Structure 1
Amino acid sequence: MSTGTPHTPETAAIAAGPPLAEEPGLGTLTLPGFLREVTGAYAARTALISPEEGSSWSYTDLWERSHEVARALRACGVGKDSRVGVLMTNRAEWLAAVFGTALAGGVAVALSTFSTQPELDHLLRISGVSVLLFERRVARTDFGEVLTGLEPQLGTAAPGTVASTSYPFLRHLAVVGDPLPGTAIESWPDFLARGKETDPALITAAAETVQPSDTAVLFFSSGSTSKPKGIRSAHRGVTIQMWRFARMFGFGPDDEVRCWTANGFFWSGNFGQALGATLAAGGTLVLQSLFDAEAALELMQSERVTFPVSWPHQQAQLQGAPNWESVDLSSLRFVDRDLPLATHPTIETDWTEPGHAYGNTETFTITTCFPACTPEETIAGSSGVPLPGNTIKIADPLTGATLNRGDHGEIYVKGPTLMLGYLGTPLDETLDDDGYFHTGDGGYLDEAGRLYWKGRLTDIIKTGGANVSPLEVDEVLAGYPGVKIGRTVGVAHETLGEMVVACVVPHTGQVLDAAAIRDHLRAQLASYKVPREILFFTEDDLALTGSSKIKSADLRTLAARRLAAE
């Protein structure tokens, strides 16, 4: 909270990084230019390995496969700013689809493979994709069945003849994996064959028209509303972060970076940190489509991984895997000494990652950070200092007045990686008159300009690296028979950061089953949004929160106490 002391220019809680022009290590600031630059520099090196799919591509292969997708998209009518949905796990085709879209001049729409049918319906409606490239089966989900269930015409129309009133811009669909004969959905080989007559010179010409200020990608994030919000990011913002992550990790062409990751590239953090840093340094991506701890350890061993990218709860699962003691992980060099993975008997490391950082999907990840191996006394428990081009301000969350250094308030950010805007929301309703984005996060700046993130001012739950809107869960919870009141909160968790917990008051006389409620939620929500715990209360219990309008902070405390008692 503010001290109430008027600030001066010297004491104001505003900190700016160096000018962007002074940032070292930046290359071309468009996705086509980034791809051209890294593939030209590292042509014969291995860009990616996907053992599950039997794929191993050199940088030259990545360039050629991306061009192949671009020619097929061009044959489907994709042009400047056309939106192409990519619904796949981490596999070679994901990279070819996203870079291919950029080469064709389009906008890649990154869709989560955790999406349920209702969630995917929402994403397709608001994104307006004209082409959808998707993976047939992901875990227990058959996206072919999901899509034909959403639009029955897909099961009867011929390829390229889709005319859906639900998705009026959608014209072409192509599937990686088992084909769906007799439907409007093309097999991946048939889709690529469309581009055989496309002159490669057209793709070269289209790629050269792409400007750093053009929209490059559309990612989704749960914000303060119940539905995921579409976030448009420019080529400049995306590629700055790709080049930047390599610099922050200290990676260079001679480091032989071999990055394992199982986290979806449809998360902006994994796109920038794993994919961006690795390719910018001429390294190799070792892809795992879905996280499995035992298989991940085997991959790290067999592929001589040097740089593992995982979330805290995955690290805990790696430690608990049956082959934890038997695998040789001595190749791992870029492992933070304080992470669980560093305790493995074959690993010796004194390296520290640039994990002391703050960012949002709206800024395509980090806005403040310290580089790898920064001394602890310099970090001082903070979330870093503003990166080049960025400005951080701490303001009173009610009045918007700038606070003093050391005062706690809302974190405002602006800079070159800030989004172009939310889908359907005018930019002047998103940014203030000074161009700042109000993050909804609380924190403060110290005298050295270091940012200290102190948690969410809004109720968003951050679990395992993902954001969950409690309103979205509450809407589905309200549809379950017998639920009188349903409120979702985040409770502190050792490895997840926060655990999703639902607090339920049944109607009088109703006896509800927690497992049945979770099954109901699981059918309509991505798995990470489904509460790990369902707690039952009476209305008298909730009166402890102080008013009929339940305060999330008080309910979170009540839930934490119940869980501790149990």
Structure 2
Amino acid sequence: MWNGTDRGWTSTVEDLLVDASGTTNTDLVIAEAAVGPDDPMLVMYTSGSTAEPKGVIHGHGGVVRHPYNLLPFRDLVPGDVLYTPMPLFWVGGLTYTLVSAMHAGATVVFEGRFEAGATLDLIEAEKVTHVVGWPHMSQALTEHPSFPTRDLSAVRGGSLDALLPPGLRVGDPELRANSLGMTESLGPHSIELIGSALPEAKRGSFGRAVPGIEHRIVDPSTDEEVLEGELGEIWIRGYPLMLGLVGAPNHAVFMSDGWYRTGDVGHLDADGHLYFKGRMGDQIKTSGMNVMPREVELVIEEQPEVMHAFVAGVTHTERGQDVAAAVVLRPGMSVDSEEVLERLRGDLSSYKVPRHVAIYDSPEDLPWLESGKIDLRRLVGMLAERYAS
């Protein structure tokens, strides 16, 4: 059944179990022999938060191997219970959660739509050990009125630091081990032990390349590798990389030696730690100066009243672009745009301080994609309509 209506392409769990009961080991051997690691397994579309969605083709080898190879970085063991609202049409739900759980012998609790109270009910009732979600979920859950009385003692891992027992929390998000990935790489291509604390010298690091993956930082105007510590475009190469894109010849997708241009901007340090600074297309050019939105967002989000901050460029006839920010406040908090700007002037270079700040009371006032990401294209349109000149 699908929404109460029969669909020929669906079946029940009971039917699936009956079909499986008739499958022999010989059937499995024949099926396995008919498929190779490089044979296409699925097409997964990118979120389309900054550009039109792309159809990413992945092979059997990457889909099976990569989630398994990430297990040591995630501390997943048999008997764990993972919770996520991430959809199965997205890499976060399919490979990072479902396939990983299958490898680990863990249980997955999926939720169709995130709502703080109902989600806390589910995490508590199912004794969830790992919560996999987006940063805005953490704030919504911890600020729910019932949060202080909840028994979340089973939680010991995942991506939401605030849900962990006090002894496991890192606190400073810039010192909490993180990962960087994309649909084209089946999730993380750079990672450290999730939830661990980074030394101060590695503040802001997104970890190091997963074994079997290479990183290169390149000047996008020359395709030449830049010096250590210099900003450039992040290129990746390795086993979990997609086979290609729907409708695009491979020579238009990959470099001749197999490297893939991610469109992300960052730099590497001497130890191979990767530092992500934003998307190439996100860079704001104002009065001849370059501004990376994420740098400004992090400073805005340090303010106690702020839940989320999103920064983008809006057209200006003389300066080229102005820096504009959309700021979502925490429930019950208030601050005006002038106060936000006054604080930023003490923390940012003058050209990085937004000329415009739009204040919103709820995340629901902003456009979101089904994947849980902000719809950046629509947000830029909102800011441009309000501030462009």
Counterpart CA distance in 2 for 1:433 and 1:318 is: 47
Q: How is 1:329-408 mapped onto 2 (pairs within 5 angstroms)? A: 329-334=152-157, 339-342=161-164, 347-350=165-168, 355-372=177-194, 374-377=196-199, 380-381=202-203, 382-408=205-231
- The change in CA–CA distance for 1:296 and 1:532 in structure 2 (over 3 A counts) is farther
Equivalent residue letter for 1:296: T
Distance between the aligned counterparts of 2:211 and 2:110, measured in 1? 31
Give the Cα separation in 2 of the matches to 1:358 and 1:456. Answer: 12
Asked if the contact 1:368–1:385 (Cα under 8 Å) also holds between the matched residues in 2, the reply is: yes
Structure 1 pair 191/333, CA: closer, same or farther in 2 (3 Å)? closer
Report if the CA contact (8 A) 2:67-2:99 is conserved. Answer: yes
Q: How many aligned positions are there?
A: 314
Q: Which gives a bigger RCO, structure 1 or 2 (Cα 8 Å, sep 6+)?
A: 1
- Cα distance in 2, alignment partners of residues 396 and 500 from structure 1: 23
Query: Where do 5+ consecutive residues of structure 1 fail to align?
Result: 1-174, 462-488, 505-520, 544-566
Q: Please give the TM-score of this superposition, normalised by the length of structure 2.
A: 0.68
Aligned to 1:429: 252
Structure 2 residue aligned with 1:246: 71
Q: Tell me by how many angstroms 1:451 deviates.
A: 1.3
Task: Describe the superposition over 1:377-408 as per-residue Cα deviations: whole angstroms up to 9, x where unpaired.
Answer: 28712111111111111111111011111111
Cα distance change of structure 1 residues 185 and 191 upon mapping to structure 2, 3 Å threshold: farther
1:409 corresponds to which letter in structure 2? G
Distance change (3 Å), C-alpha of 1:427 and 1:460: farther
SS of match in other structure, 2:55? strand
Matched, 1:274 2:97: yes
Q: What are the residue-to-residue correspondences of 1:51-200 with 2, within 5 Å?
A: 175-180=1-6, 185=8, 188=11, 200=23
Secondary structure of the corresponding residue to residue 242 of structure 1: helix
| Contact 2:152 2:163 survives alignment (8 Å) | no
Residue number in structure 2 paired with 1:100: none
Does the C-alpha gap of structure 1 residues 414 and 324 become closer, same or farther in structure 2, counting only changes over 3 Å? same
CA contact (8 A) 1:414 1:435 kept: yes
The list of structure 1 runs, each at least 4 consecutive aligned residues, that deviate by more than 6 angstroms after superposition, is 195-199, 499-504, 524-527
Unaligned runs of 5+ in 2: 285-292, 302-306, 317-365
Displacement of 1:278 in angstroms is 2.4
Structure 1 residues 533, 341: CA separation in 2 closer, same or farther (over 3 Å shift)?
A: farther
The two structures, once aligned, show a CA RMSD in angstroms of 4.0
Please name the residue that 1:534 is paired with. 382
Residue 509 of structure 1 aligns with which residue?
Answer: none
How far off its partner does 1:219 sit? 0.6
Per-residue CA deviation, residues 70-119 of structure 1 (Å, 9 max, x unaligned), is: xxxxxxxxxxxxxxxxxxxxxxxxxxxxxxxxxxxxxxxxxxxxxxxxxx
Does the C-alpha gap of structure 1 residues 502 and 328 become closer, same or farther in structure 2, counting only changes over 3 Å? farther
CA distance in 1, matches of 2:112, 2:49: 30
Is residue 109 of structure 2 the alignment partner of residue 286 of structure 1? yes
Larger radius of gyration: 1
CA shift in 2, pair 1:300/1:351, >3 Å: same
CA offsets per residue over residues 33-77 of structure 1, 9 Å max, x none? xxxxxxxxxxxxxxxxxxxxxxxxxxxxxxxxxxxxxxxxxxxxx
Residue of structure 2 in register with 1:498 after alignment: 310
The percent identity for this pair of structures is: 27
Superposed, 1:413-424 pairs within 5 Å as 413-424=236-247
- 1:269 counterpart letter in structure 2: G
Give the Cα–Cα distance (whole angstroms) in 2 for the partners of residues 460 and 274 of structure 1.
Answer: 31
Distance 1:525 1:350, change over 3 A: closer
CA gap 1:503/1:397 in 2 versus in 1, 3 angstroms? closer
Looking at structure 2, the residues matched to 263 and 502 of structure 1 have their Cα atoms a distance apart, in angstroms, of: 31
